[in-house]
Chain A
């Protein structure tokens, strides 16, 4: 016998995030590393547990393996609880046919049975592509106080940018009177954050009806919410005024990372009362060697820094060898930057081998190197290039590949030099 849940969260994590190019070739967008030790999905998952929501369905579809392994039992976010927890919900076969999730609303529709098990009063719909800290409990109070059927979190954006968002027009009580998707002449600057709370009994009916409507795109923003508004349901806009960034593009991902270095964002990762949890790997503290130079940067555990790092974010287990120069860049877990290599304004994905004296990127356009890429000794990758995962970029015919992992090679070198 399950006790009734006040709110169950459904996290839409199935999107490809095609505007992140090589970074999402082999993984879903929510699994993209961020900020030195996090993945994007850490933010909504931590928000859930920090808001007292202990039941989260994670709807996966596109390249789910890395994400599934990352979430595991949900223990890193304290989501390994007896009644509830983190559940990975991929599309499945029912009856004789199986179908992919055809849209955000369809994805939730296909999991009605899952939600029914918890018999919740409300459901919270989240997406896995935003960096923010938000107490959903406050939004839930607002929702209940208004006896709303649906509550949509909105953030005020500059008026001139409002035409890029889904805009909510509200009355003085924050009741939504009109929803306009990317309006040419916006009447308000309250942009939808893609975070919704619905009364479960109500939304269930809409999901079932929408499923039968063959003309529908089966999307919350395009179909469900407009329909609820035309049918006169009680819909409210909940204003959020904290730090919130969409990291759906290379440019915005890079910028959000760089904002962390400046340290004056409202994200406040140091906060003890509203921590962002993440899966921890047992890395020792990072080591900065003699002759190294680190300034205005964020460095994670397990790194070995022998070269020069400025204005960059270095994820766990990265080695930056002597004479290497890394600036304005994001280097993800386990990558090795060889001796004398130069990396400028680049995003380098996990487990890459950038061999000695290679040169990557330049001042202007962001360069992206996919997962497990090998850049040959002395090779040059021009700025603005996107290198796909697992590729080998050769400088010449001499094929010198550094295959060892960073830590093994460090241990070996240390043994030789001692």
Chain B
């Protein structure tokens, strides 16, 4: 529907709490949900909203993202008009400036923003996982005559502060939904409206705000710029219904992965009628051995399962050996887990190898993380 909108996805993340999971990749290309990367959800949301002109702002290592999205074929973004644009930071005549915040990243993409034929710009940070279209958000934006619309969802009081997000922006709104204040990670533990780091804005206003911020030598977050202008801009919140997860730390990544095993979340993310698209690998279907035992788990294609898997997410091409026990764990693609090993609350990154008879046991707040290619 919204033909007047182009999209921008900020693929990087400032969060250090994701530790080794993002040591060599932008958060956007972090594998999640058995066969996806985080960016798949945003790209699919945009494509499912008929937004077919999308720029991806990369920060750390754009190779991982470029490898994943390619020309955008899987998302139907290999178009003659518009399509997919990867926008890495670049050297200017003033010298290379390492982008500090989202504002710097957007400044890098100034040319892209200028040349797009659509007047409205949807900017999303890639650390949020949800399945929704932006159609209603765009309608609301026009109806309210808003200058900026920010997507949010309602978060219950945190049960365990060691697991839940500490890093989040909370919107305070009046009865009409107009945003009156934005707080950074308030300490009072109550139900709140959490920003999903997705804003809709006219591109002329975006340019004005960027230039204005630069004239005060501000390089930080978009949200700060919005906050500075709350008194003279109409900023509205748009409420997202259904599941969402913000991936800002190992603990939140782990929690989101475990959430996906709940039928309600599974339905909210994958069975809404809007497909989540991803790069396909043409793996054969997964093979279960005679002594396989699997319960409450999500298993991608190309795996061979000989052991026991319980409440875990298993990515493509994973080998689970005989007499192996995997519980409450996330095992990324092509991990090889050899016979008699035990994994409990573990995150194995891509291409890891677990030798026979190994035992790895983590906790919910601090799952054991084995980095990409690690051999245990």
A residues neighboring B (CB under 8 Å): 35-37, 75, 261, 263, 269-270, 275-278, 280, 282, 284-301, 313-314, 407-408, 410-411, 413-415, 417-418
The answer to whether B299 touches A285, judged by C-beta atoms less than 8 angstroms apart, is yes
Cα distance, A299 to B304, chains bound together (Å): 10
Whether A296 touches B295, Cβ cut-off 8 Å, given contacts A37-B301, A301-B301, A411-B272, is: no
Cβ–Cβ contact B292 & A301, under 8 A: no
Chain B residues with CB below 8 A from A277, complex form? 282
Q: Mark B142-176, 1 if CB is under 8 A from A, else 0.
A: 00000000000000000000000000000000000
**In the bound complex, CA of A345 to CA of B274 (Å):** 35
B302 contacts A by Cβ under 8 Å: yes
A370 CB to nearest chain B CB (Å) = 23
Is the Cβ of A282 less than 8 Å from the Cβ of B297?
Answer: no
**Residue in A282, A290, A299 whose CB lies within 8 Å of B286:** A299
The 11 listed contacts between A and B (C-beta, < 8 Å) are: A35-B285, A277-B282, A280-B282, A285-B301, A290-B295, A293-B293, A295-B289, A296-B292, A298-B285, A299-B285, A414-B268
Cβ of B285 and Cβ of A288 under 8 Å apart? no
Known A299-B285, A301-B301; contact A282-B296, beta-carbon cutoff 8 A: no
- Taken together as a complex, chains A and B put the C-alpha atoms of A299 and B284 apart, in Å, by 10
| Most B CB within 10 A of own CB, among A287, A298, A314 | A287
Query: Shortest distance in angstroms between A37's beta carbon and chain B's nearest beta carbon?
Result: 5
Known: A285-B33, A294-B294. 20 other contacts (CB 8 A): A36-B284, A277-B282, A280-B280, A282-B275, A285-B35, A285-B300, A285-B313, A288-B298, A289-B263, A293-B293, A294-B288, A297-B288, A299-B286, A299-B299, A300-B285, A408-B273, A410-B263, A413-B263, A414-B271, A418-B264
Q: B20 → chain A, closest Cβ, in Å?
A: 24
Check B184 for interface membership: any CB of A closer than 8 A: no
How long is the Cα–Cα vector from A410 to B272 in the complex, in angstroms? Answer: 10
Are A270 and B277 closer than 8 Å at their CB atoms? no
User: Mask for B298-342, Cβ within 8 A of A = 1, else 0?
Assistant: 111110100000000111000000000000000000000000000
* Residues 126-141 (chain B) with a chain A CB within 8 angstroms: none
> B344 to nearest A CB, angstroms?
18
Say if the beta carbon of B367 comes within 8 Å of chain A.
no
B188 CB–A CB distance under 8 Å: no
Chain B proximity of A14: nearest CB distance (Å): 27
Asked whether any CB of chain A lies closer than 8 Å to the CB of B290, the reply is yes
Contact present for A285 and B282 (CB under 8 Å): no
Residues of the A chain whose Cβ atoms lie less than 8 Å from the Cβ of B295: 288-292
Closest 5 CB pairs of A and B: A285-B34, A36-B285, A269-B284, A414-B267, A285-B300
Q: Say whether B296 contacts A288, CB under 8 Å.
A: yes
Chain B residues near A414: list those with CB within 8 A.
263-264, 266-268, 271
Tell me if B299 and A417 are in contact (CB < 8 A): no
Question: How far is it, in angstroms, between the C-alpha of A226 and the C-alpha of B33 when the chains are bound?
Answer: 57
Residues of A within 8 Å of B103, CB to CB, are none
Question: Bound complex: CA of A282 vs CA of B301, how far in Å?
Answer: 12
Which residues does B use to contact A, with CB under 8 Å? 33-35, 73, 261, 263-264, 266-273, 275-278, 280, 282-302, 304, 313-315
Chain A residues lying within 8 Å of B313, measured Cβ to Cβ, are 285
Q: Name which of A75, A282, A410, A415 has the most chain B CB atoms within 10 A of its CB.
A: A282
Residues of B contacting A314 in the complex (Cβ-Cβ under 8 angstroms): 285
Closest to B266 in A: A287
CA distance A35 to B285 in the complex (A): 8
Chain B: CB-nearest residue to A407: B271
Contact, CB under 8 Å: B299 / A288: yes
Measured between C-beta atoms, what is the minimum distance from A2 to chain B in Å?
A: 24
Contacts of A269 in B (CB 8 A): 284
In the assembled complex, the Cα of A352 lies from the Cα of B311 at a distance in Å of 30
Q: How far is the CB of A299 from chain B (nearest CB, A)?
A: 5
Q: Is the CB of A301 within 8 A of B300?
A: yes
User: What separation, in Å, do the CA atoms of A108 and B283 have in the docked complex?
Assistant: 34
CB-defined contacts of A313 to chain B, threshold 8 Å? 285
CB distance from A317 to the nearest CB of B (A): 10
Residues of A within 8 A of B315 (CB): 285
Specify which chain B residues have a CB less than 8 angstroms from the CB of A292 in the assembled complex. Answer: 294-295
Given contacts A285-B298, A408-B271, contact A35 B284 (CB under 8 A): yes
Q: Which residues of B sit under 8 angstroms from A35, Cβ to Cβ?
A: 284-285
A312 nearest in chain B by CB position:
B288
Closest CB in chain A relative to B10 CB, distance in Å:
24
Min CB gap A402→B, angstroms? 16
Residues of B within 8 A of A276 (CB): 282, 284
The docked-state distance in angstroms from the alpha carbon of A339 to that of B59 is 50
B291 / chain A contacts, CB cutoff of 8 Å: 295
Nearest CB in chain B to that of A315: its residue: B285
Question: Which residues from chain B contact A282 at a C-beta distance below 8 Å?
Answer: 275-278
Chain B residues within 8 Å of A280, by CB: 280, 282
Q: Compute how far the CA of A414 lies from the CA of B270 in the bound complex, rounded to whole angstroms.
A: 12
Which of A294, A297, A415 is the one whose CB lies under 8 Å from B267? Answer: A415
The docked-state distance in angstroms from the alpha carbon of A296 to that of B280 is 25
Taking the closest CB of chain A, its distance from the CB of B337, in whole angstroms, is 16
CB distance from A38 to the nearest CB of B (A): 8
> Closest CB of chain B to A311's CB: distance in Å?
9
CB distance from B262 to the nearest CB of A (A): 8
B44 to chain A, nearest CB (A): 8
Q: Is the CB of B264 within 8 A of A289?
A: no
A contact residues around B73 at 8 Å (CB): 75
Interface centre among A35, A270, A275, A301 (most CB of B within 10 A): A301
Q: How far is the CA of A369 from the CA of B272 in the complex (A)?
A: 29
Q: How far is the CB of A19 from chain B (nearest CB, A)?
A: 26
| Across-interface contacts of B314 in A (CB, < 8 A) | 285
In the complex the two chains form, is B33's CB within 8 Å of A284's CB? yes
- Taking each of B73, B271, B297, which has the highest tally of chain A beta carbons within 10 Å of its own beta carbon? B271
Check A270 against B297 for contact (C-beta < 8 Å): no
